Amino acid sequence: MRLSRPVGDPEFGRVQPCECKRQEQEARAAQRLQRLSNLGPLSEARLSEAETAVGPALTACAFADEADDQSGWLLLTGQAGSGRTRLCAEMANRRIAANRSALYFVTADLLDRLRAAMNATSGGDFSFALLFEHVRDAPFLILDDLDCISPTDWAREKLFQLLNHRRNSGRRTVLVAESADLSGIGLQSFLTLDVERVELGGSTSEARYREFGGMTERVLAQYTFESFRAQGLGGRGDAENLPGAKAMVEGWSEQPAGWLTLIGGTGVGKTHLAAAAAYARVAAGDRVCFAVVPELLDALRASYRDDGEASFEAVFAWLKDVDLLVLDDLGAHQETEWASEKLYQLCASRYLRRAPTLITTNVAPESLDPRLASRLLDSQRGTVQYVKAKDYRTDQAAMVINRTRRRSPRRG
């Protein structure tokens, strides 16, 4: 439509889109911003007006609302379950709703994409350069789970290059981590006095959910009892006792007490059932930890060099006290005297208090540390459920439970 203006008016004869066309253009622009944001399933995650009107959320949203020509950095900290990612999604989505760009990355995912682009067989360097430039020059960047990366020399170098450029060019940046100590990944120098700080939640002991090994809350939500294939792969009658195992775990998760141990070959659904139980208890308001045993031991070793809330003592005390502890893949860890001792201390504490503990393993009990095996098999304190079915992933007969003779743990 043409504007109705008198002859001589600067806007005489100027074409302007009608209201319906303007709304259509705005919708397309919003969709494009949403697509470029990398939010994925978080694209619909919003906080209520009441939630954004007070406390840390008010500060974070005010930071997101500021003009892009005002340089500024925000450090958002809080334990798992404190709502960090949800607040990140709100900051990004409120900008997109205002027709402003925002880019969100889980830091480990970003590094994986950069590695893949750099290692591409054709055009790899160009693809890497484009991706790196896209992230480096984004007007508003959120890097979530910054302290959950594997701190290799390459990862530290790329993150330093990225953040150093954004600092020098005044790009608005949000760093998200459990604590304000980024020295373990070599980025503490960026946390200068002018970095605004927002802290969510409390100490590790107050966290609602914590994981070791990648079973984040978002991943956990995919493993429910409803989505468990109790009839085996493809429903072709491949299961031997999956319906009974599911019923056992589901019933236990309603009022967990004592220990429940799931023993079976690789791929028969043990982890799915354990995750479903954990998800049910998180939904019920319990404090829950889902730990892949080798990853847990690595994290405990690393915590020796940390201070404060992330120290070994604080994490280990929380593991002993948490309402439900899931120990996934027990027996897959490298047996050392230190690993055996820490696992024994943790399990002995929970055993004495009858603290709900769910364990999965593909190792026969007699092949485990005898101190653990005797507790797993104590019918007065818990239940052992053997899970028998074909491998969900390969459609092959399940791997035979490992009954190799237990070797004496090595030192270190």
pLDDT per residue as tens digits for the range 68-80: 999 899 999 987 6
Amino acid at 191: L
Query: 106 with 61: CB under 8 angstroms?
Result: no
**Cα angle, residue 88 at apex, residues 286 and 78 outer, rounded to 5°:** 45
Q: Give domain status of residue 397, yes or no.
A: no
State both tokens at 45. 């995650």
H/E run at residue 196: strand 196-199
Domain count, the chain: 2
Mark whether 237 and 339 lie in a shared domain: yes
Q: What is the CATH number of the domain that holds 266?
A: 3.40.50.300
Mark whether 303 and 336 lie in a shared domain: yes
State both tokens at 219. 């991943």
Q: Each residue of 18-69: pLDDT tens digit?
A: 666 655 655 555 455 567 688 877 887 888 898 899 889 999 999 999 999 9
Between 242 and 190, the higher pLDDT residue: 190
Mark whether 342 and 227 lie in a shared domain: yes
Q: Each residue of 289-298: pLDDT tens digit?
A: 999 999 999 8
Among candidate residues 141, 170, 202, the one where a domain is terminated: 202
State both tokens at 356. 């709900």
392-to-14, 83, 273, 328 alpha-carbon distances in Å: 64, 33, 13, 17
- Give the residue from 311, 273, 289 showing the smallest Cα distance to 81: 289
Q: What's the mean per-residue pLDDT of the chain?
A: 81
d(CA 89, CA 41): 10
- Give the residue from 129, 184, 193 showing the smallest Cα distance to 158: 129
Query: 261 with 361: CB under 8 angstroms?
Result: yes
- Which of 230-234, 345-349, 350-354 has the lowest average pLDDT? 230-234
Mark whether 145 and 69 lie in a shared domain: yes
Between 105 and 81, the higher pLDDT residue: 105
**pLDDT above 70 (res 178):** yes
Query: 288 with 411: CB under 8 angstroms?
Result: no
**pLDDT above 80 (res 115):** yes
317-to-86, 282, 309, 322 alpha-carbon distances in Å: 28, 20, 11, 9
**pLDDT above 80 (res 167):** yes
Q: Give domain status of residue 2, yes or no.
A: no
Q: Give domain status of residue 222, yes or no.
A: yes
Looking at residues 108-112, what average pLDDT do you find? 88
Mark whether 157 and 250 lie in a shared domain: no
Q: Read off the DSSP letter of residue 258.
A: S
State both tokens at 28. 């397309």
Q: Give domain status of residue 128, yes or no.
A: yes
Please, which pLDDT band fits residue 15 given cuts at 50, 70 and 90? low
H/E run at residue 352: helix 337-352
Mark whether 124 and 230 lie in a shared domain: no
d(CA 146, CA 149): 6
Mark whether 219 and 312 lie in a shared domain: yes
Q: Each residue of 314-338: pLDDT tens digit?
A: 788 889 889 999 999 998 877 788 8
Q: Give domain status of residue 345, yes or no.
A: yes
- Domain region containing 43: 19-202
Among candidate residues 202, 237, 258, the one where a domain is terminated: 202
Q: What is the pLDDT of residue 351?
A: 87
**pLDDT above 50 (res 122):** no
Q: Give domain status of residue 412, yes or no.
A: no
Query: 381 with 375: CB under 8 angstroms?
Result: yes
Mark whether 294 and 369 lie in a shared domain: yes
Q: Give domain status of residue 194, yes or no.
A: yes
Distance between alpha carbon 254 and the CA centroid of its chain, in Å? 25
Mark whether 245 and 169 lie in a shared domain: no
Query: In the chain, what percentage of residues exceed pLDDT 70?
Result: 78
Measured on CA atoms in the order 74, 146, 222, 249, is the torsion positive or negative? Answer: negative
Mark whether 154 and 97 lie in a shared domain: yes
Helix (H, G, I), strand (E, B) or coil at 109: helix
Among candidate residues 202, 219, 236, the one where a domain is terminated: 202
Q: What is the dihedral of CA 318, 321, 323, 327, to 10 degrees?
A: 70
Residue 302 burial (CB count, 10 A):
14
Q: pTM for this structure?
A: 0.50
Please, which pLDDT band fits residue 90 given cuts at 50, 70 and 90? very high
Mark whether 238 and 349 lie in a shared domain: yes
Looking up tokens 């070599």 gives: 186
d(CA 182, CA 250): 40
**Alpha helices by DSSP H, 39-83:** 55-65
Q: Read off the DSSP letter of residue 282.
A: H
Q: What is the pLDDT of residue 154?
A: 92
Please, which pLDDT band fits residue 152 given cuts at 50, 70 and 90? confident
Which residues is 73 bridged to in the sheet? 173
Mark whether 77 and 98 lie in a shared domain: yes
Q: Which of 38-47, 122-131, 136-145, 301-310 has the highest mean pLDDT?
A: 136-145
Q: Give domain status of residue 10, yes or no.
A: no
